[in-house]
């Protein structure tokens, strides 16, 4: 291989690595939010269960198994019944009036 071909191959490799890292940066950034122990306790204050040392509620295994067996439709039905229809709100612009 000539020197110019080697340089081109090296440039392409570096470019591909840079693109892969740039694409991975978005998802990695979204996982930096964590709750402190006190935040977990405050957020789940109504939980009747014991707690792990880091503050998370210790939910019994039988309840976790029941939750795993639910379909997404069953989960959404409960959320809508509890009035969580729009738990994520986006401010979208109104279409122009004619």
**90 in any annotated domain:** no
44 in a domain, yes or no? Answer: yes
Read off the pLDDT band of 66 (50, 70, 90): very high
Write down the mean pLDDT value for the chain.
Answer: 79
Domain contains 25: yes
Secondary structure of the chain as H, E, C letters: CCHHHHHHHHHHHHHHHHHHHHHHHHHHHCCCCCCCHHHHHHHCCCCCCCECCCCCECCCHHHHHHHHCCCHHHHHHHHHHCCCCCCCCCCCCCCCCC
* Per-residue confidence band for 14, with pLDDT thresholds at 50, 70 and 90: confident
pLDDT of residue 17: 84
Q: Is residue 61 part of a domain?
A: yes
pLDDT of residue 88: 55
Does pTM surpass 0.75? no
- Please check whether residue 38 lies inside any domain of the structure: yes
Provide, rounded to the nearest whole percent, the portion of the chain with pLDDT above 70: 77
Residue 94 lies in a domain: no
State which residues form the domain around 68: 3-81
* Structural domains counted in the chain: 1
At residue 32, does pLDDT exceed 90?
Answer: no
């Amino acid at each position: 291989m000539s020197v110019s071909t080697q340089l081109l191959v090296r440039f392409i490799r570096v470019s591909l690595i840079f693109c892969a890292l740039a694409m991975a940066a978005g998802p990695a950034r979204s996982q930096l939010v964590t709750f402190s122990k006190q935040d977990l306790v405050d957020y789940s204050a109504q939980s009747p269960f014991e707690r792990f040392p880091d503050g998370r509620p210790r939910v019994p295994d039988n309840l976790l198994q029941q939750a795993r067996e639910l379909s997404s439709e069953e989960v959404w039905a409960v959320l809508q019944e509890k009035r969580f229809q729009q738990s994520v709100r986006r401010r979208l612009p109104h279409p122009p009036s004619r």
